[in-house]
Structure 1
Amino acid sequence: MYFAALLARTEDGWEASDTELDDVETLADLAELAREAATDDEPVLACIEQEGEWFGVVRVEGEDDPRVFVSDAAAAMRSSYGEILLSDELLGREPEDPDALDQLVDLDGTEDGEPEPVEDPVEGDEAEPEPAESAPPGPIGDAALLADLGMTGKTLIALAPEDALNEIADALGCTDVLEAVR
């Protein structure tokens, strides 16, 4: 079971709203959703949890790039909502979407659509399996994204997934606001 909420800081405190992620496909989409909830350039936190498995927090301020923390990248990778947070940059891998030149010419210099030469396999050689899309187990991202709001990176990393959003709300002083949208 998933829960997702936006916490937007205003001059009167924090406002919370639950949010549907059905139309969100990328981190950029989630950041745009958060910006729509923002007041001026105040921070907005997009919080996502999968009960007992993992949680993620995305901090958006103005037009700055979103800052992301995920408690367990490997668990989040198995989730369609988690995959939204796990960008290629965050995982330290090359982007999946090549640029236009790479789309026109393969790395071996052949144009798309040309058959590649087939090599005869050497006896005893086995084809190497394609690497599976994976992520490292454990936390990944910017653990200090809440430090100026009252929660250190060390504390954020140590949170248990089942209590994380409540602990974050306690540190921000907005437990009642978050509970109202649960």
Structure 2
Amino acid sequence: MYFAALLARTEEGWEASDTELDDVETLTDLADLAREAAIDDDTVVALIEQEGTWFGVVRVEGEDDPRVFLSDAAAAARSSYGAMLTDELLGRDSNEADELDSLDLDGTEDGEPETEPENIDDDLAGGPVPHGPLGDARLLEDLGVGEKELLGLEGDALSEIADALGCTDVLETVR
């Protein structure tokens, strides 16, 4: 199961909204969703996690390209939303991963048993996916979450990020 939230920075602090990813198929879709939540083209941070297995942070500012960080690329590549972000970070064409279109949110094909191929990292993402963090680990540095801190997050990472941003209560209202 996924949890996703958008945190939009305002003059008064942060506003959070629960985010449905049902219509998100690309990073561009996610960035557009974040831009809709933005106040005056200010910073929006999308937080995504899958049951403590991996988390992702996408930072969008105005029309700039989104900045992305994944805590564990190999684990993320096993899920449809994580694979979308992993492919973007690795510069893969979305057409290379067309088999993801038939995946459920748990990463299995409709009607298929939940068994993993021997090397799921290669099979789902069109080639090897690095184990461990991937992306811009400095994307929250100016907001109080440095690279070393982001790379060291474990457990309830999204709450720790929200705490550092000063918006724990805001995030908890949408959980």
TM-score by length of 1: 0.77
Larger CA Rg, structure 1 vs 2:
1
Q: What is residue 56 of structure 1 aligned with on the other side? A: 56
1:136 maps to a residue whose letter is P
Aligned partner (choices 145, 167, 172) of residue 174 of structure 1: 167
Confirm whether residue 73 of structure 1 aligns to residue 73 of structure 2: yes
Confirm whether residue 165 of structure 1 aligns to residue 163 of structure 2: no
Q: What is residue 148 of structure 1 aligned with on the other side? A: 142
1:149 maps to a residue whose letter is L
> What are the superposed Cα offsets for residues 65-98 of structure 1, whole Å, 9 maximum, x if unpaired?
000000000000001121221234x12x553549
Contact 2:72/2:133 (<8 A) preserved: yes
**Cα distance in structure 2, aligned partners of 1:80 and 1:19:** 16
Aligned residues: 147
> What are the superposed Cα offsets for residues 131-170 of structure 1, whole Å, 9 maximum, x if unpaired?
633411100000000000001011001101x311000000
Consecutive aligned runs of 4 or more in structure 1 exceeding 4 Å deviation? none
**Cα distance in structure 2, aligned partners of 1:31 and 1:94:** 18
TM-score by length of 2: 0.80
More helix by share: 2
> What are the superposed Cα offsets for residues 18-67 of structure 1, whole Å, 9 maximum, x if unpaired?
11001100000000000000011210001000122000000000000000
Gaps of 5+ in 2: 97-121
